Amino acid sequence: MTIPIIGIRALLAACFMGLSALVPADAETLTEALISAYQTNPQLAAARAGLRVTDEQLALALSAFRPSITLQGSGGRSTIRLQQERRETLAPFDGQAQLVQPLFPLSGFAALRSADAQIEQGRANLAAVEQQVFLSVVSAYLNVIRDQALVNITAEIEGNLERELEANRSRFNEGDVSQTDIALTQTRLSQVQADHVAAQLNLRRARSAYEEVVGHPPLEVSPPGLPPGLPGTKEEATAIAIKGNPTLLEARRAEDVARADIGRAEAALYPSLNLVAAGAYSENQSFDNQQEEQYSLQLQLRVPLYEGGATQSQIRRAKEFWNQQRAGTVAVEREVVRLVADAFDGLVTSGDVIGYAREGVKGAEAALKGVREEAGLGFRTTTDVLDSEQDLLNAQSRLAIAERDEVFAGWQLLSAVGAFSAQETGLVTELYDAKAHAEEVGDAWFATDPLAPGLVPVPTSTAPAPLIPPEATRPGSPAMEPVQAAVSTPAGASEGEGFWTTLLGIPADEIQPP
């Protein structure tokens, strides 16, 4: 079934407006992170300023249709010695004024077409940067959730192995196990401890990346769901992307700019016609103190005939550059088609991986429980228990990674089709009007100050993001109490209930796709 792009935007707006009701009050939703990035991200601020720079091309093009006025004057005092004892002093003054009004500026029309194309290209570039920043926010947000989950997983397994080591030592004193069993358990514990420290490092890096793109350290984050209204087929997604992907639109507008620049180059061969009004006044230019006034009104026609071939070379250059841009547009279109296919395939595949990973977690939990019981009866060795612990660690890690990859693939697909912007997702914040500034500069005849600074990045604290304290590397420490509480199974809950509920301590009914 085909889902129109308007339907996608409406669904996204409804999704983002209601997302805050689905998460704990003290959690920062993905919507809030996107709003923060929209308001403070310096890449977006630079792209907006770049568009305002491009908007000035419109004012420059319009100047070819407007008059130019110049004033010039000179005055002074001079003394002339006429005879040996006679001197004359003069105070000469002269002034000129000139007004030139273009009547038939063919080059101005070409410049105006080029300016319009450049502005459209700049707007497409801003939309592309906005999508790139938003996708970076989603990636950073999901990475924090994933890496926090991996920290919790390794912490839980580390605690289990420490208890297993203590139990084996007690059993060794009773003669039930050998020194080899203790060494095997210690080795596996050291491996998991190393994994736990590495997971903490990855979490710190994820938090730093989050602060870089969002503008502040991550607060408590809540797992988001897939965006609604995604295309149902790869062909449908490709068709939408061909029409709306901002990177592809930017390439097409660059092609339009190159075509308009051909006209600008050819305009150098066209004649120009100007109306020139001039006036001059002078006095005291000689000893008779004569005053003189001059006025003129003229038509000036300029017809270029030959300029050494420079103009013809510029025309050929502009045409070849247009050919280059046309080929570049085809390349970008193929890249967009590939990105859509990769995102769509990644979304489908990650969904399958999640299904298998969940079954793997359930199987690993059941296997570990059974192996422990059998080991207590003497039917299983310490190695069997350690292998089951490792299988559970691997299964839970795969599920955490797959959960992250599925959600990211959904937002990546939304970005690839060109529907991931502040306006289309319905973010409740002040939106930057990319068209208002161009309209203002078109009427700005005399202004020199910036007309519409728009949203600018807000400086952030230079303090580093909060790190995991060193004492939190061992279960049982005061700093790890929230982690232990998060990974413990609530009373009355089944072992297979909600992966994110088990890891993050968020009620299952609050972890809903938006």
Tell me if 86 is assigned to some domain. Answer: no
Alpha-carbon span 362 to 366, nearest angstrom: 6
- 364 falls within a domain: yes
For residue 93, list its beta bridge partners. Answer: 75, 283
Provide the pLDDT for residue 447: 72
pLDDT band at 165 (very low <50, low <70, confident <90, very high): confident
- Is residue 83 assigned to a domain? no
* Strand duo 220-221 + 93-102: pairing: unpaired
pLDDT for position 275:
93
Within 10 A of 91 (CB to CB), how many other CB atoms are there? Answer: 11
Q: What is the pLDDT of residue 82?
A: 65
3-state DSSP assignment of residue 259: helix
pLDDT of residue 505: 47
Q: Higher model confidence: residue 229 or residue 409?
A: 409
pLDDT for position 430: 86
DSSP alpha helices (H): ranges in 267-309? none
Could you tell me which residues come within 8 angstroms of residue 301 by beta carbon, excluding any fewer than 6 positions away?
271, 272, 273
Residue type, 486: A
Say yes or no to pLDDT of 500 above 50. no
- Model confidence at 453, in pLDDT bands (50, 70, 90)? low
Range 106-131 burial, b when 16+ CB lie within 10 A, else e: bbbbbbbbbbbbbbbbbbbbbbbbbb
**CATH number of the domain within which 212 lies:** 1.20.1600.10
User: Is residue 352 in some structural domain?
Assistant: yes
pLDDT digits (tens, 9 = 90+) for 199-254: 999 999 999 999 999 999 988 888 888 988 889 899 999 999 999 999 999 999 99
The pTM of the full predicted model, rounded to 2 decimals, is 0.76
Higher per-residue confidence, 466 vs 342? 342
Residue 84 burial (CB count, 10 A): 6
Residue type at 203? L
Domain annotation covers residue 88: no
Domain count within the chain = 1
- Residue 271 belongs to what domain range? 5-74+93-450+459-510
Q: Is residue 270 a part of any domain in this protein?
A: yes
Q: 349-378, pLDDT tens digit by residue?
A: 988 899 999 999 999 889 888 888 887 777
Between CA 442 and CA 444, with CA 443 as vertex, the angle to 5 degrees is 95
Q: Which of 16-20, 98-102, 177-181 has the highest mean pLDDT?
A: 98-102
261 pLDDT exceeds 60? yes
pLDDT at site 439 = 83
Residue 84 is assigned to a structural domain of this protein: no
Q: Is 85 within the bounds of a domain?
A: no
Coil, helix or strand for 193?
Answer: helix
Residue 184's pLDDT is 86
Paired residues of 94 in beta bridges: 74, 282
DSSP 233: S
Determine the angle formed by the axes of helices 106-173 and 179-214, rounding to 10 degrees.
Answer: 160
What mean pLDDT value characterizes the chain? 80
